[in-house]
Structure 1
Amino acid sequence: MNIKSPLRIACGLVTLLPLFSHAVTFDVRGGYKSASHIYESRFKVSQGWENGWWASMETDNKDNKNNGRGANGTDKSDSSHSLGDITTDYNEIETNYTYKLNKKWSLQPGGILHWSTNGTQIRPYIRLNYKISDNLNSGLRYRYDYNDYETKNTDNELHRDSVNRLDLYLGYKINATWSLNYQGTIYRHTSADYEYKNGKSWSTENAFTVRYKWNNTVSNYAEYDYLDKTGYYDGEGNKAESRYRIGITFNL
């Protein structure tokens, strides 16, 4: 298995921990897509500051199953990897700033720099948060994803692709140890010439997460996502896709 690249990146992220003056969060997560038969793992380091700034760095790797094709059905750009190899899927850096409008409302402008073997994506966003109660929080985010590289559309023509994305967040704290989170997402290509593997220019995701806090340092979580009919395997798309994830978070 070719796992050196993601491990090197993860180790590099960890070496940056001493540079931060406040608590740092390190998150490790694994997942599986049942229709596309893809395994994934992610390593993420994040940091928040009292002045309102927040930033993160992460790397994600997936196995190269799907008969040498990616989850979206496109050929992998690095054809040297054999089936079942573990390869770096993407890396990204994210940052945002929280403006507290009052005790209940806050505004978060931010952005993501995302890059992979295909090229770089720029993802600016704006998020509005509302604290419904002491235990229930909500948020609504609009994000625009822009590729700096060209991809083939449904007519097999090369163009730059962009996506409009809207996310709804709900978080509920059951007690001091248990919490629940929901994220609903709808995303749409700006051009009708691009389609997801559900055969449409738009798609949805619904993610449900339950988290258990062991202590102030360690918590773990389990997540189930329904990803519409975007599954792709063995040349066949439009498959109902479910994703299962488990992870552990360390507050250092």
Structure 2
Amino acid sequence: MQANHKKLVLAATLLTVTAAAHAFDVDVRGEYRTGSEAWRSRIKVGNQWQNNFGASLEAGMFNGKGSLNEFKSDYNEIEAWYLYKTGPDLTVIPGGFLTWSSAGSAIKPYVRVNWSFAPTWRADVRARYDHNNYDVGTNWHMPADQTYYGRNDQWQFDFWLTKWIGDKTAIEYNYAWNRKDDNQFVYNNGRNWQYLNNLKVSYAVQPNLIPYAEVGYLGKVASLANDDNEWRLRIGSVLRF
């Protein structure tokens, strides 16, 4: 409990500094997954400073299964990064996440590279490693009376392709591929790897108001006992202050 309290104090401090030091973004988003029938929402506050450092604080909520009848903490996350320009069109971004929930905490360092290869096009790639600071139990392919415990770490590799149309509309495609670091663990598809395809469209109604919508396909990963297709639908908006 004391460790979680320290993390909450750190998160509150980061939020205060972000809000006071410079203009900042607030990203509010709702989500529904078709296969697992799960509703979620999240709020994220972030800022990119002129010294090339950036940081954000995110809080996720679980809102129910089948209906919007719950409102409980799902996870909390702090991200920090640095923009390193290697050329006029190429940027290297080292960074990382600190995530915590009722299960425990995780650290997720990454390296991201973006390349503006045309006036209205940009490509991004990112390699990230997710390390849990707690053990997870699984009964997958274990005798009936035994449970395997491990950290359940994973790799994630992302690719983004973004196209701007005019000065208000952006279309972004994201492909993500995950793999368990310990083969004893599996995703809900029964394999130690999974993938995601996601399409996002945003439109700047005003410079400080940017609503967006996303549709993502996660495969047949609703749960190990449910192989329904899992589509992820999101609606949100970014407010800039």
Shift of 1:18: 7.3
Alignment length (residue pairs): 225
Q: Output the CA distance in 1 between the equivalents of 2:198 and 2:165.
A: 18
- Give the stretch that moved more between structures: 15-24 or 135-144: 15-24
Which secondary structure does the structure 2 equivalent of 1:16 belong to? helix
Alignment match, 1:56: 56
> Contact conserved, 1:17 with 1:24, CA < 8 A, in 2?
no
Q: Using the aligned pairs only, state the percent identity.
A: 31
Alignment match, 1:65: 65
Shift of 1:169: 1.0
Which residue identity is paired with 1:58?
Answer: E
Q: Output the CA distance in 2 between the equivalents of 1:163 and 1:106.
A: 25
Alignment match, 1:179: 170
Q: Output the CA distance in 2 between the equivalents of 1:178 and 1:247.
A: 15
Check if 1:29 corresponds to 2:14: no
Alignment match, 1:5: none
Which residue identity is paired with 2:74?
Answer: D
TM-score scaled to structure 2, two decimals? 0.88
> Contact conserved, 2:14 with 2:57, CA < 8 A, in 1?
no
Alignment match, 1:95: 80
Which residue identity is paired with 1:45?
Answer: V
Alignment match, 1:70: none
Which secondary structure does the structure 2 equivalent of 1:20 belong to? helix
Alignment match, 1:140: 125
TM-score scaled to structure 1, two decimals? 0.84
Which residue identity is paired with 2:33?
Answer: K
Alignment match, 1:245: 234
Structure 1, unaligned runs of 5 or more: 1-8, 67-82
- Give the stretch that moved more between structures: 175-184 or 24-33: 175-184
Alignment match, 2:45: 45
Distance change >3 Å, CA 136–CA 160, structure 1 → 2: same
Shift of 1:161: 1.3
> Contact conserved, 1:25 with 1:251, CA < 8 A, in 2?
yes
Which residue identity is paired with 1:54?
Answer: G
Aligned-residue CA RMSD in angstroms?
2.2
> Contact conserved, 1:207 with 1:225, CA < 8 A, in 2?
yes
Which secondary structure does the structure 2 equivalent of 1:62 belong to? strand
Check if 1:118 corresponds to 2:103: yes
1:210-249 to structure 2, matched below 5 A, reads 210-232=201-223, 236-249=225-238
Alignment match, 1:6: none
Shift of 1:242: 0.2
Shift of 1:173: 0.5
Distance change >3 Å, CA 172–CA 112, structure 1 → 2: same
Q: Output the CA distance in 2 between the equivalents of 1:184 and 1:161.
A: 22
Shift of 1:64: 4.3
Alignment deviations for residues 55-94 of structure 1 (CA, whole Å, 9 cap, x no partner): 000100013437xxxxxxxxxxxxxxxx942211000000
Q: Output the CA distance in 2 between the equivalents of 1:193 and 1:112.
A: 25
Alignment match, 2:182: 191
Shift of 1:162: 0.8
> Contact conserved, 2:41 with 2:63, CA < 8 A, in 1?
no
Structure 2, unaligned runs of 5 or more: 1-8
Distance change >3 Å, CA 163–CA 15, structure 1 → 2: closer
